[in-house]
A and B are shown apart, each in its own frame.
Chain A
Amino acid sequence: MLKYAAQRLIMMVGILIGVLIITFALSRILPGSPVELMLGHKPTPDQIEEAIKSLGLDKPIVAQFWDYLRNAALGDFGTSLMSGRPVLEEVTTRLGATFELTTLAVIFVVVLGVPLGVVSAVRQNSLIDHLSRTISIAGVALPLFMTGMILQMLFHGGLGWLPLQGRIGSEVLLDYPFATLTGLYLVDTLIAGEVGAFLSALAHITLPLLTLVIASIAVVTRITRSMMIEVLGEDYIRTARAYGYSPFAVYYKQGLKATLIPMLTVVGLTYGYMLGGSVVVEFVFDWPGLGGYVVGAISRNDFPAVMGVTLFLATVYLSVNLVVDLLYFAADPRLRTP
């Protein structure tokens, strides 16, 4: 187990260095030099020289990359040109919002999508199966921003049930102040015992959450279905049936267990999809997380912030995949025999 974990960890570090090479290369081909962006219009030659030195741009490119690597390893992902604060600091203040949204979305997708996939597999060509196929074909073709805007039109513009955007009502923050302990508003408001604030946070997260869930639930359902169909054809399922196990036990205990491992991969991929999709969804709903921050940073030409967040999210995604791999190992005893 340890050896396997170590192998995976080394591989991840290798890929991470590759990721760093890409973000480093990207930040070197930026339009206009970082110096120009930092100093604004018409700096004096002295100012330029000083800025080049302070940014280390006078060093050879390999030395520059080495600095970049060392800084990243120490948690320095660059400095935002706009705020002058370290990118990591900006990331941590917004991480909670993105984590809350994407993780809840993944949980919903798995909890709803997997049983739906099992039902579609067991009752092939039933109404539910056809419905889930239709939804998956349609869902994949709908751009995320459109799903979000349609929901806004329905539930805000049409029915007026839910807020248009944001994470919590601004008046709520004044009426029910609560401490941000975890950075997850749904948790923090409950800890503080402010029901009003909790409900406001819940109302705000519903539509962005729904957008992400709609976009990926069909994919999870279809993958579960095709894996389940394969498993249901196995001999041990027939044996279990012959022994008189109830259908529920056969499908959910025997059948689903066999799909657990590929399912883990699906969860990892879905999480990655959510992180990428959060950029668009957070922009649509003005959600104060990392995705919306990236879009804002691009429009302000704040490239160190863009590259810093990109690097950070890639690291998160790689870590999720590492965890998935290790869970693989824990879930499948066959992998443990050398």
Chain B
Amino acid sequence: MSVSNQITITRTDRALDFIKRHPLFVLGLTMVTIIVICALFAPAIAPFEPGKINFKHKLVPPGLEHYFGTDALGRDIFSRIIYGTRTSLLIGITVLAVSIAIGLPIGLVAGYYGGKVDHFLMRISDVFLAFPPLLLPIAITAALGAGLFNAMIAIAISWFPWYARIVRGAVMRVRSEQYISAAKAIGVGNLRVMLGHALPNSLTPVIVQASMDFGYTILAAASLSFIGIGAKPPAVEWGLMVAMSRSKFLDFWWTAGFPGLAIFVTVLAVNLVGDGVRDILDPRYKGHS
């Protein structure tokens, strides 16, 4: 009798509770998982070769053979969207990795040493933030030459100051903590204190920021491809697919509609995950979004 009154919390209960508390995060995570599976197993999922031109089947409307129809060169849009997941994930990971690789050391040094070093490094960051968004990546890509790789580097260069600022703030908060002074007192070098004590403390805000920025990087890269300075054929990139269908999208909506939808769904999914990561790792923000 007493057994039936006992409250037991099973794993399923915990999982259900988590889903109840973070429904959008779970939804986003599910979508991202599907996207990652599409990227990993693209050749198995896509019914056609993404670059296969077939003039006999050009501009076919969506149907049973071509789920999302075909483009002006007769290429299967569904297959191209499946392969496009690879490009988008590659863009997000590359841009964020380069941004953090530039921003993190700058923020670390600025926050740790403070004073003139900090002032100098932060003013440099300010300069990069002085351009209207999207304009600096466009100018950098124009200078480096059009192409997906250059576009990714350009977006990363224009985005690193945010990471420099976040790391700097986090390092400044712990700089005066006793364990840092203690480490210095027993003769630990500046570099080791920075990497061993200051850096780990700044990782959480960096992870939160990165998970929220992933969608932005995909949007920015798609925009650069759309105006003609990002990905070039034969690359399979959604922004480029929309750009190439620009002259006929009014009559053949699917040529632009599905790649556009793919960008939307992907960015939505990673943004939901990003918001969830922020809520879970940094509860201060809960309910503010």
Contacts and interface: CB of A to CB of B under 8 A. Distances in A.
B227 A276 contact: no
Interface in A258-313: 272-273, 275-277, 279-280, 283, 294-295, 298-299, 303, 306-307, 310, 313
B260 interface: yes
A75 interface: no
Interface in A1-59: 14-16, 18-19, 21-23, 26-27, 29-31
Contacts of B124: 18
Contacts of B265: 141
Nearest to B271: A141
Given A18-B123, A27-B143, A276 B134 contact: yes
B103 interface: no
Contacts of B133: 272-273, 276-277
A137 interface: yes
Nearest to A295: B227
Interface in B139-162: 139-140, 142-146
A248 to B, nearest CB: 25
A143 B144 CA distance: 24
Nearest to A18: B127
Contacts of A140: 215, 267, 271
A153 B132 contact: no
A314 B131 contact: yes
Contacts of B215: 140-141
B161 to A, nearest CB: 12
B108 interface: no
A45 B267 CA distance: 52
Contact of B242 (A14, A27, A149, A157): A149
A226 interface: yes
B222 A143 contact: yes
B198 to A, nearest CB: 27
Interface in A159-174: 164
B183 interface: no
B256 interface: yes
Contact of B130 (A19, A149, A152): A19
B126 A18 contact: yes
Given A143-B222, A145-B242, A295-B228, A273 B132 contact: yes
Given A137-B271, A140-B215, A143-B222, A314 B134 contact: no
A146 B263 contact: yes
B268 interface: yes
A24 to B, nearest CB: 11
A318 interface: yes
Contacts of A143: 219, 222-223, 226, 239, 260, 263-264, 267
Interface of B: 123-124, 126-128, 130-136, 138-140, 142-146, 215, 219, 222-223, 226-229, 239, 242, 246, 249-251, 253, 256, 260, 263-265, 267-268, 271-272, 288-289
Given A18-B123, A276-B131, A279-B138, 5 more contacts: A22-B127, A141-B219, A142-B267, A153-B253, A294-B138
